[in-house]
Structure 1
Amino acid sequence: MWWAPRDIAARKDRVTYCLGIVTSDGLVMASDSRSNAGYDQVNVCRKMYRFVNEGERVFVILTSGSLSISQSVLSLLRADFDAGLGLAAAPSVYHAARIVGDTVRQVSEIDREALERDNYSFNVHLLLGGQVKGQPPALYLIYPQGNPLQATEDSRYLQLGEVKYGRPILDRGIEADTPLEIAAKYALLSLDATMRSNVTVGPPIDLLLYRKDSLTVDRYRRLEANDPDLRLIHTSWESSLRRAVQQLPEIDFAREPATDLG
């Protein structure tokens, strides 16, 4: 199937799935690594980026949308961070989200006009999770316009890309006091559901757990398609789900319907 240029950017957001979860214990960040899928070609590209000054600040960024735009944004953020500027000086995660948004706008000033002249959308979304010493952990979604949206007590996760398949398990399972290790399982199940229903989302999966106030990254996995832990979670969940459905109460079809169905 062929897509016109103006449709490609819209499809790019669906050729990915990233999510962040914030609980009282900390953060879970997870992403797939598929950037393009088709009959002839599958490209793999990392979508998780870390900015860490141990003992002082930790930021994790996940990206979706145009790969060229997100690479430009991350390159500028990295250059400033390495120079002690930008994210390296942000006093809170909110201010960090604003810095990321300003960088998105900076890239927009450079590239948007040329892209839109050829009917390409300026399309990039980012998730930023992390913590600055003395401040609580937080999670933000940054839009292509540069404005941030924060995960809240009532909505403890944020998603990018192909979100619909992986949302129900998160809605049913994630709570404020969900242990970090359990939240990581929900994240993998959410990704598994998405990969099962959409071939454009695929491994390797990057999974990172950040424990509140640790101010370091020491729990990270990159799970390939043949990873035994990933396969075990997939098969265990499917068998558990089938078993749970079989154990549900029987439907009583003998009762009279509430209305006359004709």
Structure 2
Amino acid sequence: MTYCVALRLNRGLVFAADTRTNAGVDNIAQFRKVHTWRKQGERVLVLLTAGNLSLTQSVVSLLNEQIAESEKEPEAVNLFNIPSMYRAARHVGDAVRAIRAIDGPALEASKTGFTGSFILGGQIGDEPPRLFQIYSEGNFIEATDETPFFQIGEHKYGKPILDRVAQPTMRLGEAAKLILLSFDSTLRSNLSVGMPIDIVLYERDSLDLRREKRIYQDDEYFKNLSHAWSDALREAFTKIEEFDV
């Protein structure tokens, strides 16, 4: 399993994903689930992946092959020449369908099923930053001011704090803190999600990626954040009047 989350803000976008994959308690590995593409000054795209690793890797590989092949066929559609984020989301959805057409029948026959979900966000040219969640069927939805974040993977433990706190008006650093608290709750409750965590902060209209970090188990900020949040919850709990009948 995995946990990925992204938040769309007035000031930009924040993305994060864990790196754990497992096929049982004795078969655990680490793979990067944050994939980025950029042409400085023109476009930035970030893709988070969750689900069957072989399928999500195939989708990313297909997207990269299309970019590489554009040197021979400049007119061929790829993430580096697509005109809008909406078209980029459709392009990723098409890649998902293409992989599904290849591998889907065999997976369905084995009762494994085709499982893969994606979060795509970024900015192209003068268009404002946009954020999409893409399903295993290739269709997608877009984040709004009322629902400014998306989660894929093992999301239920980290959702309550996002529901209560997430706002488009937040600063990037605030949003990153919120997302890491969401990860802290998930890590405490589910062993299938594990560190390190990859986090990307994209500043609106920068059309560049300047703030990326991999957060390991011994990261000082993350440890302090976790301890401070636990202390704050305990203190808040003690201040609430006890239940009585």
Provide the TM-score with structure 2 as the length reference: 0.94
How far apart are the structure 2 equivalents of 1:32 and 1:131? 23
Q: Work out the number of aligned pairs and report it.
A: 239
Please tell me whether the aligned partners of residues 22 and 28 of structure 1 are also in contact (alpha carbons under 8 angstroms): yes
Higher Rg of the two aligned structures: 1
Counterpart Cα distance in 1 of 2:206 and 2:16: 19
Deviation at 1:82, TM superposition (A): 3.7
| TM-superposed deviation, 1:92 | 1.2
Task: Find the aligned partners of 1:79 and 1:42 in 2 and give their Cα distance.
Answer: 28
Q: 1:39 to 1:219 in 2, by over 3 A?
A: same
1:113 aligns with 2:99: no
CA shift digits 1:203-253 (9 cap, x unpaired): 0100110010000000011011121221111111111111122223x2363
Q: Helix, strand or coil for the counterpart of 2:79?
A: helix
Shift >6 Å, 4+ stretches: none
* CA offset digits 1:135-182 (Å, max 9, x no partner): 010110111110011111110000001111000100111112111110
Alpha-carbon contact 1:37-1:200 (below 8 Å) kept:
no
Deviates most, 220-229 or 39-48:
39-48
**1:126 pairs with 2:118:** yes
Match of 1:19 in 2: 5
- Residue 42 of structure 1 corresponds to 28
Quick one: distance in 1 between partners of 2:64 and 2:31?
Answer: 18
| Percent identity (aligned) | 43
**Residue 42 of structure 2 corresponds to which residue in structure 1?**
56
Provide the rounded CA distance (Å) in 2 between the counterparts of 1:226 and 1:151. Answer: 33
> How far is 1:38 from its partner?
4.2
1:37 and 1:199 in contact (8 A); partners too: no
The alpha-carbon deviation at position 119 of structure 1 amounts to 1.4
Mapping of residues 50-129 of structure 1, within 5 Å: 50-84=36-70, 85-129=77-121
Residue of structure 2 aligned with 1:155, choices 147, 159, 164:
147
SS at match of 1:246: helix
RMSD: 1.3
Inter-CA distance 234–220: structure 2 relative to 1 (3 Å threshold): same
For 1:160 and 1:245, locate their aligned partners in 2 and report how far apart those are by CA, in whole Å: 30
**Aligned counterparts of 2:61 and 2:243: Cα–Cα separation in 1:** 61
* DSSP-derived class of the 1:88 partner: coil
Partner Cα separation in structure 1 for residue 23 and residue 98 of structure 2: 30
- The reply on whether 1:168 has 2:189 as its aligned counterpart is no
CA distance in structure 1 between the partners assigned to 2:148 and 2:158 by the alignment:
14
SS at match of 1:86: coil
Whole-Å separation in 1 of the counterparts to 2:107 and 2:27: 24
